[in-house]
Structure 1
Amino acid sequence: MLRSMYAGISGMKGFQTKLDVIGNNISNVNTTGFKKGRVTFQDLMSQMTSGAQGATDTRGGVNPSQVGLGSQTGTIDDLHTQGFRQTTNNPLDFALEGDGMFAVASDIERDGKSFDASGENGGIDDINLNESSVSYTRAGNFYLDSNGSIVNPDGMYLMGFAQDDKIDTDNISALQIPETAQSFSVQSNGTVNYIDADGNTQVAGQVALANFSNPAGLQKDGNNLFLNSENAGYNGLSQPDSEGVASIVSGALEMSNVDLASEFTEMITAQRGFQANTRTITTSDEILQELVNLKR
Protein backbone atom coordinates (compact mmCIF):
# COMPACT_ATOMS: atom_id res chain seq x y z
CA MET A 1 0.00 0.00 0.00
CA LEU A 2 1.11 3.59 -0.60
CA ARG A 3 2.64 5.56 2.27
CA SER A 4 0.76 8.67 1.14
CA MET A 5 -2.55 7.01 2.01
CA TYR A 6 -1.55 6.53 5.66
CA ALA A 7 -0.07 10.03 5.78
CA GLY A 8 -3.43 11.37 4.62
CA ILE A 9 -5.23 9.42 7.34
CA SER A 10 -2.96 10.88 10.03
CA GLY A 11 -3.61 14.37 8.70
CA MET A 12 -7.38 13.83 8.79
CA LYS A 13 -7.20 12.68 12.41
CA GLY A 14 -5.18 15.74 13.37
CA PHE A 15 -7.52 18.22 11.72
CA GLN A 16 -10.52 16.45 13.26
CA THR A 17 -8.96 17.08 16.69
CA LYS A 18 -8.40 20.70 15.73
CA LEU A 19 -12.07 21.04 14.75
CA ASP A 20 -13.10 19.49 18.08
CA VAL A 21 -11.10 22.13 19.98
CA ILE A 22 -12.44 24.95 17.80
CA GLY A 23 -15.99 23.74 18.34
CA ASN A 24 -15.46 23.74 22.11
CA ASN A 25 -14.05 27.27 21.95
CA ILE A 26 -17.02 28.58 19.99
CA SER A 27 -19.54 26.86 22.28
CA ASN A 28 -17.94 28.68 25.24
CA VAL A 29 -17.73 32.11 23.63
CA ASN A 30 -19.96 33.55 26.39
CA THR A 31 -18.74 31.37 29.28
CA THR A 32 -17.48 33.43 32.21
CA GLY A 33 -13.75 33.05 32.77
CA PHE A 34 -13.30 30.50 29.97
CA LYS A 35 -9.82 30.10 28.48
CA LYS A 36 -9.65 28.96 24.87
CA GLY A 37 -7.69 25.98 23.60
CA ARG A 38 -5.22 25.68 20.74
CA VAL A 39 -3.90 22.66 18.82
CA THR A 40 -0.38 22.35 17.44
CA PHE A 41 0.94 19.59 15.18
CA GLN A 42 4.17 17.63 14.83
CA ASP A 43 5.48 15.51 12.00
CA LEU A 44 5.74 11.76 12.47
CA MET A 45 8.96 9.82 11.97
CA SER A 46 10.53 9.87 8.53
CA GLN A 47 11.67 6.78 6.65
CA MET A 48 15.29 6.92 5.58
CA THR A 49 15.92 6.05 1.94
CA SER A 50 19.57 7.07 1.89
CA GLY A 51 21.77 8.45 4.62
CA ALA A 52 23.98 11.51 4.66
CA GLN A 53 27.58 11.31 3.48
CA GLY A 54 30.40 13.61 4.43
CA ALA A 55 32.66 15.38 1.99
CA THR A 56 35.86 13.70 0.82
CA ASP A 57 38.96 14.93 -1.03
CA THR A 58 37.39 14.12 -4.38
CA ARG A 59 33.65 14.46 -3.72
CA GLY A 60 31.26 16.77 -1.91
CA GLY A 61 28.87 15.79 0.85
CA VAL A 62 25.41 14.31 0.22
CA ASN A 63 22.31 15.15 2.22
CA PRO A 64 20.06 12.43 3.64
CA SER A 65 16.92 11.42 1.74
CA GLN A 66 13.85 10.83 3.88
CA VAL A 67 10.15 10.31 3.25
CA GLY A 68 7.77 11.64 5.92
CA LEU A 69 5.04 9.34 7.23
CA GLY A 70 2.43 11.93 8.21
CA SER A 71 1.58 14.21 11.12
CA GLN A 72 0.38 13.91 14.69
CA THR A 73 -1.15 16.14 17.36
CA GLY A 74 1.66 17.86 19.26
CA THR A 75 -0.06 19.80 22.04
CA ILE A 76 -3.52 21.00 23.05
CA ASP A 77 -2.81 24.19 24.99
CA ASP A 78 -4.98 26.43 27.14
CA LEU A 79 -4.27 30.10 26.42
CA HIS A 80 -4.64 32.09 29.64
CA THR A 81 -4.81 35.50 28.05
CA GLN A 82 -7.00 38.24 29.53
CA GLY A 83 -10.69 38.08 28.61
CA PHE A 84 -12.74 41.21 28.06
CA ARG A 85 -14.48 42.79 31.04
CA GLN A 86 -18.25 43.06 31.26
CA THR A 87 -19.81 45.47 33.76
CA THR A 88 -22.67 44.02 35.82
CA ASN A 89 -22.84 46.40 38.85
CA ASN A 90 -23.33 43.32 41.07
CA PRO A 91 -21.00 43.72 44.10
CA LEU A 92 -20.39 39.94 44.21
CA ASP A 93 -19.20 39.81 40.60
CA PHE A 94 -15.38 39.94 40.59
CA ALA A 95 -13.21 40.43 37.51
CA LEU A 96 -9.46 39.84 37.71
CA GLU A 97 -7.08 42.25 35.99
CA GLY A 98 -3.76 40.43 35.75
CA ASP A 99 -2.41 37.06 36.80
CA GLY A 100 -4.03 34.91 39.47
CA MET A 101 -7.09 32.76 40.12
CA PHE A 102 -9.76 32.53 42.79
CA ALA A 103 -9.43 29.56 45.14
CA VAL A 104 -12.65 27.74 46.00
CA ALA A 105 -13.10 24.71 48.26
CA SER A 106 -15.89 22.19 48.61
CA ASP A 107 -14.62 20.22 51.61
CA ILE A 108 -13.34 22.32 54.50
CA GLU A 109 -12.75 21.23 58.07
CA ARG A 110 -12.68 22.92 61.45
CA ASP A 111 -11.14 21.13 64.41
CA GLY A 112 -11.21 17.90 62.44
CA LYS A 113 -14.93 18.18 61.64
CA SER A 114 -16.34 18.82 58.21
CA PHE A 115 -18.18 22.12 57.89
CA ASP A 116 -21.60 22.05 56.25
CA ALA A 117 -23.76 24.88 54.98
CA SER A 118 -26.08 24.68 58.00
CA GLY A 119 -23.22 25.65 60.32
CA GLU A 120 -23.93 22.64 62.52
CA ASN A 121 -20.24 22.07 63.20
CA GLY A 122 -19.44 25.68 64.04
CA GLY A 123 -17.96 28.61 62.18
CA ILE A 124 -15.48 28.64 59.36
CA ASP A 125 -12.48 30.40 60.89
CA ASP A 126 -9.19 28.58 61.45
CA ILE A 127 -10.09 25.83 58.99
CA ASN A 128 -7.85 23.15 57.55
CA LEU A 129 -7.95 22.85 53.79
CA ASN A 130 -7.90 19.48 52.09
CA GLU A 131 -5.79 20.21 49.01
CA SER A 132 -7.71 17.69 46.93
CA SER A 133 -10.91 19.68 47.49
CA VAL A 134 -9.48 23.03 46.35
CA SER A 135 -10.14 24.21 42.81
CA TYR A 136 -9.20 27.39 40.98
CA THR A 137 -11.21 29.60 38.66
CA ARG A 138 -11.27 32.90 36.79
CA ALA A 139 -15.07 32.97 36.86
CA GLY A 140 -15.92 35.63 39.42
CA ASN A 141 -19.71 35.25 39.66
CA PHE A 142 -20.23 34.61 43.38
CA TYR A 143 -23.26 34.60 45.67
CA LEU A 144 -24.16 34.69 49.36
CA ASP A 145 -25.64 31.57 50.92
CA SER A 146 -28.04 31.49 53.87
CA ASN A 147 -25.14 31.76 56.34
CA GLY A 148 -23.50 34.73 54.64
CA SER A 149 -20.69 32.68 53.09
CA ILE A 150 -19.46 33.77 49.67
CA VAL A 151 -19.87 30.80 47.32
CA ASN A 152 -19.68 30.07 43.61
CA PRO A 153 -22.67 28.72 41.61
CA ASP A 154 -21.82 25.16 42.76
CA GLY A 155 -21.78 26.10 46.45
CA MET A 156 -17.98 26.00 46.79
CA TYR A 157 -16.59 28.47 49.33
CA LEU A 158 -14.44 31.41 48.21
CA MET A 159 -11.20 31.26 50.17
CA GLY A 160 -9.50 34.27 51.70
CA PHE A 161 -7.43 35.58 54.59
CA ALA A 162 -9.06 35.97 57.99
CA GLN A 163 -9.33 39.31 59.81
CA ASP A 164 -7.88 39.42 63.35
CA ASP A 165 -7.06 43.07 64.19
CA LYS A 166 -5.42 43.01 60.78
CA ILE A 167 -5.38 40.73 57.76
CA ASP A 168 -3.66 37.48 58.72
CA THR A 169 -2.14 35.92 55.61
CA ASP A 170 -1.26 32.78 57.56
CA ASN A 171 -4.90 32.10 58.42
CA ILE A 172 -6.87 30.79 55.44
CA SER A 173 -10.64 30.91 55.85
CA ALA A 174 -13.83 30.78 53.86
CA LEU A 175 -15.04 34.37 53.50
CA GLN A 176 -18.24 35.13 55.35
CA ILE A 177 -20.28 38.33 55.74
CA PRO A 178 -22.32 38.58 58.99
CA GLU A 179 -26.08 38.35 58.58
CA THR A 180 -26.42 41.66 60.47
CA ALA A 181 -24.40 43.54 57.83
CA GLN A 182 -26.27 46.44 56.26
CA SER A 183 -24.15 46.51 53.10
CA PHE A 184 -20.74 45.39 51.90
CA SER A 185 -18.13 46.18 49.28
CA VAL A 186 -14.92 44.66 47.92
CA GLN A 187 -11.85 46.76 47.20
CA SER A 188 -9.32 46.22 44.42
CA ASN A 189 -6.93 44.55 46.92
CA GLY A 190 -9.64 42.02 47.84
CA THR A 191 -10.53 43.49 51.24
CA VAL A 192 -14.17 42.79 52.07
CA ASN A 193 -15.74 45.66 54.04
CA TYR A 194 -19.23 45.72 55.50
CA ILE A 195 -21.40 48.11 57.51
CA ASP A 196 -22.52 46.60 60.81
CA ALA A 197 -25.81 47.22 62.64
CA ASP A 198 -24.32 50.31 64.35
CA GLY A 199 -23.29 51.88 61.07
CA ASN A 200 -19.57 51.21 61.55
CA THR A 201 -17.30 49.89 58.83
CA GLN A 202 -15.84 46.47 59.57
CA VAL A 203 -13.50 44.12 57.69
CA ALA A 204 -14.71 40.58 57.02
CA GLY A 205 -11.45 39.40 55.47
CA GLN A 206 -9.54 39.55 52.22
CA VAL A 207 -9.99 37.54 49.05
CA ALA A 208 -6.97 35.31 48.38
CA LEU A 209 -5.66 34.69 44.88
CA ALA A 210 -3.67 31.65 43.79
CA ASN A 211 -0.68 32.38 41.60
CA PHE A 212 0.85 29.94 39.10
CA SER A 213 4.10 30.30 37.18
CA ASN A 214 2.64 28.11 34.41
CA PRO A 215 -1.17 28.44 34.35
CA ALA A 216 -1.26 26.48 31.08
CA GLY A 217 -0.26 23.46 33.17
CA LEU A 218 -3.57 23.51 35.07
CA GLN A 219 -6.06 20.75 34.38
CA LYS A 220 -9.61 21.66 33.38
CA ASP A 221 -12.23 20.07 35.61
CA GLY A 222 -15.45 21.46 34.14
CA ASN A 223 -17.81 24.00 35.73
CA ASN A 224 -15.27 26.78 35.04
CA LEU A 225 -12.82 25.09 37.46
CA PHE A 226 -9.16 24.18 37.15
CA LEU A 227 -7.16 21.69 39.20
CA ASN A 228 -3.54 22.05 40.24
CA SER A 229 -1.00 19.79 38.54
CA GLU A 230 2.67 18.98 38.94
CA ASN A 231 3.53 21.28 36.03
CA ALA A 232 1.42 24.31 36.98
CA GLY A 233 4.02 25.84 39.30
CA TYR A 234 1.73 26.66 42.22
CA ASN A 235 3.14 29.58 44.22
CA GLY A 236 0.61 29.67 47.04
CA LEU A 237 -2.12 32.15 47.95
CA SER A 238 -1.32 35.86 47.73
CA GLN A 239 -2.99 39.18 48.43
CA PRO A 240 -4.59 40.79 45.36
CA ASP A 241 -3.11 43.94 43.83
CA SER A 242 0.36 43.03 45.10
CA GLU A 243 3.45 42.56 42.96
CA GLY A 244 2.72 40.12 40.13
CA VAL A 245 -0.84 39.40 41.35
CA ALA A 246 -4.08 40.57 39.77
CA SER A 247 -6.30 43.29 41.16
CA ILE A 248 -10.03 42.71 41.69
CA VAL A 249 -12.71 44.77 39.96
CA SER A 250 -16.00 44.46 41.84
CA GLY A 251 -19.19 44.79 39.82
CA ALA A 252 -17.74 43.25 36.67
CA LEU A 253 -16.99 39.83 35.18
CA GLU A 254 -14.13 38.55 33.06
CA MET A 255 -15.70 36.88 30.05
CA SER A 256 -14.28 34.30 27.65
CA ASN A 257 -11.10 35.13 25.74
CA VAL A 258 -12.47 33.43 22.60
CA ASP A 259 -12.25 35.60 19.46
CA LEU A 260 -14.91 34.45 17.00
CA ALA A 261 -13.11 35.94 13.99
CA SER A 262 -9.96 33.96 14.78
CA GLU A 263 -11.92 30.79 15.52
CA PHE A 264 -13.81 30.89 12.22
CA THR A 265 -10.56 31.54 10.37
CA GLU A 266 -8.99 28.52 12.06
CA MET A 267 -12.11 26.51 11.25
CA ILE A 268 -11.72 27.30 7.55
CA THR A 269 -8.04 26.31 7.71
CA ALA A 270 -8.90 23.03 9.44
CA GLN A 271 -11.69 22.28 6.98
CA ARG A 272 -9.48 22.85 3.94
CA GLY A 273 -6.65 20.86 5.51
CA PHE A 274 -9.06 17.98 6.13
CA GLN A 275 -10.30 18.16 2.52
CA ALA A 276 -6.74 18.22 1.17
CA ASN A 277 -5.87 15.06 3.10
CA THR A 278 -8.98 13.30 1.75
CA ARG A 279 -7.78 14.17 -1.76
CA THR A 280 -4.45 12.56 -0.94
CA ILE A 281 -6.28 9.35 -0.04
CA THR A 282 -8.51 9.38 -3.12
CA THR A 283 -5.51 10.07 -5.39
CA SER A 284 -3.60 7.19 -3.81
CA ASP A 285 -6.66 5.00 -4.33
CA GLU A 286 -6.78 5.93 -8.03
CA ILE A 287 -3.10 4.97 -8.38
CA LEU A 288 -3.78 1.61 -6.76
CA GLN A 289 -6.72 1.13 -9.09
CA GLU A 290 -4.49 1.72 -12.09
CA LEU A 291 -2.03 -0.84 -10.76
CA VAL A 292 -4.78 -3.44 -10.37
CA ASN A 293 -6.01 -2.76 -13.88
CA LEU A 294 -2.60 -3.61 -15.32
CA LYS A 295 -3.68 -7.27 -15.19
CA ARG A 296 -6.72 -7.81 -17.38
Structure 2
Amino acid sequence: MRALSIAATGMAAQQMRVEVISNNLANMSTTGYNARRAEFSDLHYQQYARPGTVNASDGTVLPTGVQLGLGVRPAAVSVQLSQGTLSQTGGDLDLAIEGAGYLEVTMPNGQAAYTRDGGLKRTGDGLIVTSEGYPVAPEITIPADAQRLSINAEGEVYAYFAGQPDAQLLGQFTLSGFTNPKGLEAIGSNLFVETDASGPALQSTPGVDGLGTVRQGYLEASSVDAVREISELIEAQRGYELNSKVISAADQMLAATSQVR
Protein backbone atom coordinates (compact mmCIF):
# COMPACT_ATOMS: atom_id res chain seq x y z
CA MET A 1 0.00 0.00 0.00
CA ARG A 2 1.55 3.27 -1.18
CA ALA A 3 0.05 5.23 1.73
CA LEU A 4 2.68 3.71 4.03
CA SER A 5 5.66 4.97 2.03
CA ILE A 6 4.01 8.32 1.28
CA ALA A 7 3.29 8.98 4.96
CA ALA A 8 6.82 7.85 5.83
CA THR A 9 8.27 10.59 3.61
CA GLY A 10 6.01 13.06 5.40
CA MET A 11 7.27 11.94 8.80
CA ALA A 12 10.89 12.19 7.63
CA ALA A 13 10.25 15.70 6.31
CA GLN A 14 8.72 16.89 9.58
CA GLN A 15 11.57 15.30 11.52
CA MET A 16 14.07 17.24 9.39
CA ARG A 17 12.06 20.41 10.00
CA VAL A 18 12.25 19.82 13.76
CA GLU A 19 16.02 19.33 13.48
CA VAL A 20 16.41 22.67 11.68
CA ILE A 21 14.25 24.40 14.30
CA SER A 22 16.27 22.84 17.12
CA ASN A 23 19.49 24.13 15.55
CA ASN A 24 17.98 27.63 15.36
CA LEU A 25 16.95 27.55 19.01
CA ALA A 26 20.35 26.20 20.03
CA ASN A 27 21.97 29.21 18.32
CA MET A 28 19.77 31.88 19.89
CA SER A 29 22.85 33.32 21.61
CA THR A 30 25.28 32.87 18.70
CA THR A 31 26.68 36.19 17.48
CA GLY A 32 25.61 37.05 13.93
CA TYR A 33 23.62 33.82 13.46
CA ASN A 34 20.81 33.86 10.88
CA ALA A 35 17.91 31.45 11.25
CA ARG A 36 17.51 28.59 8.78
CA ARG A 37 14.29 27.37 7.21
CA ALA A 38 13.63 23.88 5.84
CA GLU A 39 11.97 23.88 2.42
CA PHE A 40 10.30 20.91 0.75
CA SER A 41 8.95 19.87 -2.64
CA ASP A 42 6.65 17.09 -3.78
CA LEU A 43 8.04 13.89 -5.26
CA HIS A 44 7.29 12.43 -8.69
CA TYR A 45 3.73 11.59 -9.65
CA GLN A 46 2.52 8.24 -10.86
CA GLN A 47 0.53 8.88 -14.02
CA TYR A 48 -2.57 6.73 -14.42
CA ALA A 49 -4.06 9.07 -17.00
CA ARG A 50 -2.23 12.20 -18.12
CA PRO A 51 -4.22 15.44 -18.32
CA GLY A 52 -5.14 16.14 -21.93
CA THR A 53 -5.09 12.49 -22.94
CA VAL A 54 -7.68 11.58 -25.56
CA ASN A 55 -10.26 9.12 -24.27
CA ALA A 56 -10.14 6.14 -26.58
CA SER A 57 -13.80 5.30 -26.20
CA ASP A 58 -15.38 8.56 -27.34
CA GLY A 59 -12.47 10.82 -28.33
CA THR A 60 -12.94 13.39 -25.56
CA VAL A 61 -9.97 15.00 -23.81
CA LEU A 62 -9.47 14.26 -20.11
CA PRO A 63 -9.56 17.64 -18.33
CA THR A 64 -7.55 16.61 -15.25
CA GLY A 65 -6.34 13.06 -15.56
CA VAL A 66 -5.28 10.81 -12.69
CA GLN A 67 -1.94 11.64 -11.03
CA LEU A 68 -0.97 10.07 -7.71
CA GLY A 69 1.66 11.85 -5.69
CA LEU A 70 4.40 9.75 -4.07
CA GLY A 71 5.26 11.98 -1.13
CA VAL A 72 7.60 14.82 -0.21
CA ARG A 73 11.35 15.40 -0.19
CA PRO A 74 13.70 18.06 1.26
CA ALA A 75 14.43 20.80 -1.29
CA ALA A 76 16.66 23.18 0.66
CA VAL A 77 17.63 24.53 4.06
CA SER A 78 17.96 28.22 3.31
CA VAL A 79 19.38 31.04 5.41
CA GLN A 80 16.94 33.80 6.32
CA LEU A 81 19.05 36.91 5.80
CA SER A 82 17.89 39.46 8.35
CA GLN A 83 19.66 41.95 10.57
CA GLY A 84 20.05 40.88 14.17
CA THR A 85 19.69 43.31 17.04
CA LEU A 86 22.86 45.28 17.80
CA SER A 87 23.89 44.85 21.41
CA GLN A 88 26.25 47.37 22.97
CA THR A 89 29.32 45.81 24.60
CA GLY A 90 31.81 48.66 24.76
CA GLY A 91 34.65 46.42 23.59
CA ASP A 92 37.17 48.22 21.39
CA LEU A 93 37.39 45.19 19.06
CA ASP A 94 33.71 44.31 19.08
CA LEU A 95 32.35 45.16 15.63
CA ALA A 96 28.81 44.88 14.32
CA ILE A 97 28.02 45.06 10.62
CA GLU A 98 24.98 47.26 10.15
CA GLY A 99 23.66 46.15 6.77
CA ALA A 100 24.94 43.67 4.21
CA GLY A 101 28.43 42.21 4.08
CA TYR A 102 30.90 39.86 5.75
CA LEU A 103 34.35 40.19 7.28
CA GLU A 104 36.95 38.11 5.48
CA VAL A 105 39.23 35.85 7.51
CA THR A 106 42.14 33.64 6.45
CA MET A 107 41.97 29.95 7.35
CA PRO A 108 45.10 27.96 8.30
CA ASN A 109 45.17 26.42 4.81
CA GLY A 110 45.14 29.88 3.23
CA GLN A 111 41.51 29.66 2.13
CA ALA A 112 39.31 32.73 2.58
CA ALA A 113 36.26 32.42 4.82
CA TYR A 114 33.62 34.97 5.76
CA THR A 115 31.80 35.84 8.96
CA ARG A 116 29.44 38.36 10.54
CA ASP A 117 30.76 37.57 14.01
CA GLY A 118 32.60 40.75 14.93
CA GLY A 119 33.80 39.61 18.36
CA LEU A 120 37.45 40.10 17.42
CA LYS A 121 40.52 39.55 19.59
CA ARG A 122 44.22 40.36 19.42
CA THR A 123 47.12 37.94 19.63
CA GLY A 124 50.28 38.39 21.69
CA ASP A 125 51.83 40.02 18.63
CA GLY A 126 48.92 42.46 18.32
CA LEU A 127 47.37 40.81 15.22
CA ILE A 128 43.58 41.16 15.02
CA VAL A 129 41.97 37.72 14.81
CA THR A 130 38.60 36.01 15.31
CA SER A 131 37.65 34.07 18.45
CA GLU A 132 39.06 30.96 16.74
CA GLY A 133 42.39 32.70 16.09
CA TYR A 134 41.97 33.24 12.35
CA PRO A 135 43.44 36.57 11.17
CA VAL A 136 41.07 39.09 9.66
CA ALA A 137 41.95 40.20 6.13
CA PRO A 138 43.50 42.61 5.44
CA GLU A 139 45.75 41.93 8.41
CA ILE A 140 45.99 44.73 10.97
CA THR A 141 48.47 44.71 13.84
CA ILE A 142 47.98 46.81 16.97
CA PRO A 143 51.24 48.16 18.50
CA ALA A 144 51.88 47.09 22.07
CA ASP A 145 52.03 50.70 23.30
CA ALA A 146 48.64 51.68 21.83
CA GLN A 147 46.44 53.02 24.61
CA ARG A 148 43.12 53.15 22.80
CA LEU A 149 41.54 52.10 19.51
CA SER A 150 38.95 53.89 17.45
CA ILE A 151 37.19 52.29 14.47
CA ASN A 152 34.90 54.46 12.35
CA ALA A 153 31.94 53.46 10.20
CA GLU A 154 34.18 53.01 7.14
CA GLY A 155 36.30 50.44 8.98
CA GLU A 156 39.36 52.63 9.49
CA VAL A 157 41.31 51.58 12.59
CA TYR A 158 43.06 54.34 14.53
CA ALA A 159 45.32 53.98 17.58
CA TYR A 160 46.05 56.59 20.22
CA PHE A 161 49.46 56.70 21.90
CA ALA A 162 50.73 58.40 25.03
CA GLY A 163 51.92 61.93 24.40
CA GLN A 164 50.42 62.08 20.90
CA PRO A 165 47.16 64.01 20.54
CA ASP A 166 46.53 62.76 17.00
CA ALA A 167 45.53 59.19 16.26
CA GLN A 168 47.60 57.00 13.96
CA LEU A 169 45.90 55.04 11.15
CA LEU A 170 46.74 51.34 11.44
CA GLY A 171 44.67 50.00 8.57
CA GLN A 172 41.12 49.58 7.30
CA PHE A 173 38.66 46.70 7.44
CA THR A 174 36.91 45.76 4.21
CA LEU A 175 33.61 43.97 3.75
CA SER A 176 32.75 41.27 1.23
CA GLY A 177 29.41 41.00 -0.54
CA PHE A 178 27.97 38.22 -2.66
CA THR A 179 25.47 38.10 -5.50
CA ASN A 180 23.65 35.28 -3.69
CA PRO A 181 24.58 35.19 0.02
CA LYS A 182 22.19 32.27 0.58
CA GLY A 183 24.52 30.18 -1.59
CA LEU A 184 27.38 30.40 0.91
CA GLU A 185 28.45 27.13 2.54
CA ALA A 186 28.46 27.13 6.34
CA ILE A 187 31.51 25.37 7.81
CA GLY A 188 30.87 26.07 11.50
CA SER A 189 32.43 28.55 13.94
CA ASN A 190 30.26 31.31 12.38
CA LEU A 191 32.22 30.94 9.12
CA PHE A 192 31.14 30.59 5.49
CA VAL A 193 33.02 29.84 2.29
CA GLU A 194 32.02 30.87 -1.19
CA THR A 195 30.55 28.43 -3.70
CA ASP A 196 29.52 28.53 -7.32
CA ALA A 197 26.00 29.30 -6.08
CA SER A 198 27.08 32.34 -4.05
CA GLY A 199 29.36 33.78 -6.70
CA PRO A 200 32.78 35.29 -5.98
CA ALA A 201 33.34 37.70 -3.12
CA LEU A 202 33.07 41.37 -4.03
CA GLN A 203 35.27 43.31 -1.63
CA SER A 204 34.76 47.00 -0.96
CA THR A 205 34.91 49.68 1.70
CA PRO A 206 32.13 49.58 4.32
CA GLY A 207 29.25 51.82 3.27
CA VAL A 208 30.11 51.52 -0.44
CA ASP A 209 28.59 49.34 -3.21
CA GLY A 210 25.55 48.40 -1.14
CA LEU A 211 27.56 47.10 1.80
CA GLY A 212 26.81 47.94 5.40
CA THR A 213 28.82 50.03 7.82
CA VAL A 214 30.84 49.08 10.89
CA ARG A 215 29.88 49.99 14.45
CA GLN A 216 32.54 49.71 17.12
CA GLY A 217 31.54 48.55 20.57
CA TYR A 218 28.55 46.54 19.35
CA LEU A 219 27.86 42.91 18.43
CA GLU A 220 25.08 41.62 16.21
CA ALA A 221 22.81 39.24 18.10
CA SER A 222 21.21 36.16 16.57
CA SER A 223 18.21 36.89 14.35
CA VAL A 224 16.30 33.84 15.66
CA ASP A 225 12.71 34.67 16.67
CA ALA A 226 11.97 32.32 19.56
CA VAL A 227 8.18 32.77 19.34
CA ARG A 228 8.15 31.92 15.65
CA GLU A 229 10.41 28.91 16.18
CA ILE A 230 8.19 27.53 18.93
CA SER A 231 5.04 27.94 16.82
CA GLU A 232 6.74 26.19 13.89
CA LEU A 233 7.90 23.45 16.25
CA ILE A 234 4.29 22.82 17.32
CA GLU A 235 3.18 22.81 13.67
CA ALA A 236 5.90 20.31 12.73
CA GLN A 237 4.99 18.09 15.66
CA ARG A 238 1.33 18.03 14.61
CA GLY A 239 2.34 17.28 11.02
CA TYR A 240 4.44 14.36 12.25
CA GLU A 241 1.50 13.04 14.29
CA LEU A 242 -0.90 13.29 11.34
CA ASN A 243 1.46 11.34 9.10
CA SER A 244 1.86 8.69 11.79
CA LYS A 245 -1.95 8.40 11.96
CA VAL A 246 -1.99 7.78 8.21
CA ILE A 247 0.45 4.91 8.72
CA SER A 248 -1.74 3.52 11.51
CA ALA A 249 -4.84 3.79 9.31
CA ALA A 250 -3.07 2.10 6.38
CA ASP A 251 -1.91 -0.68 8.73
CA GLN A 252 -5.49 -1.25 9.93
CA MET A 253 -6.71 -1.41 6.33
CA LEU A 254 -4.03 -3.98 5.48
CA ALA A 255 -4.95 -5.96 8.58
CA ALA A 256 -8.63 -5.95 7.54
CA THR A 257 -7.65 -7.11 4.05
CA SER A 258 -5.56 -9.98 5.40
CA GLN A 259 -8.50 -11.19 7.52
CA VAL A 260 -10.87 -11.48 4.60
CA ARG A 261 -12.05 -15.07 4.25
2:116 corresponds in structure 1 to 138
Shift of 1:85: 0.9
Misfit runs of 4+, over 4 Å: 54-61
**Contact 1:12 1:274 survives alignment (8 Å):** yes
Q: Give the C-alpha shift of residue 60 in structure 1.
A: 5.6
Match of 2:42 in 1: 43
In the other structure, the counterpart of 2:187 is: 221
Partner of 2:147: 182
Q: Percent identity?
A: 32
- Structure 2 unaligned runs (5+)? none
2:209 match: 243
Retained in 2: the 8 A contact 1:159–1:207?
yes
Task: Report the 3-state secondary structure (helix = DSSP H, G, I; strand = E; otherwise coil) of the residue aligned with 1:289.
Answer: helix
User: Which has more strand, going by share of residues?
Assistant: 1
Q: Which runs of 5+ in 1 are unaligned?
A: 109-129, 161-173
Change (3 A) 1:236 1:51: closer
Given that 2:157 and 2:170 are in contact with CA atoms closer than 8 Å, whether structure 1 keeps it comes out as yes
Aligned pair in 2 of structure 1 residues 60, 227: CA closer, same or farther (>3 Å)?
Answer: closer
Task: Give the equivalent residue in structure 2 for 1:86.
Answer: 87
In structure 2, the partner of 1:12 is 11
After TM superposition, list the pairs within 5 Å mapping 1:20-59 onto structure 2. 20-53=19-52, 59=60
Q: Give the secondary structure class of the aligned counterpart of 2:78.
A: strand
Cα distance between partner residues in 1 of 2:59 and 2:125: 89
User: What's the counterpart of residue 257 of structure 2?
Assistant: 291
Cα distance per residue 1:64-83 (max 9 Å; x no partner): 11111111111111122111
Report the CA distance between 1:240 and its aligned residue: 0.7
Q: Is the 8 A contact 2:151 2:157 kept in 1?
A: yes
DSSP 3-state at the match of 2:146: coil
Correspondences of 1:93-172 after superposition (within 5 Å): 93-107=94-108, 130=110, 132=111, 134-160=112-138
TM-score scaled by structure 2? 0.94
Conserved? CA contact 1:144–1:150, under 8 Å: yes
User: Displacement of 1:285 after TM fit?
Assistant: 0.3
Question: Matched residue of 1:204: which SS?
Answer: strand
- Does the CA-based 8 Å contact 1:106-1:155 persist in structure 2? no
- Cα separation, 1, equivalents of 2:156 and 2:83: 23
What amino acid maps onto 1:77 in structure 2?
S
Q: Which residue of 2 aligns with 1:69?
A: 70
Number of equivalent positions: 258
CA distance in 1, matches of 2:223, 2:63: 49
Q: Cα RMSD over matched residues?
A: 1.8
Aligned with 1:265 (options 231, 237, 256): 231
Q: Distance in 2 between matches of 1:137 and 1:51?
A: 50
SS in 1 for 2:201: strand
Where 1:178 maps in the other structure, the secondary structure is: coil
Cα gap change, 1:279 to 1:210, in 2 (>3 Å): same
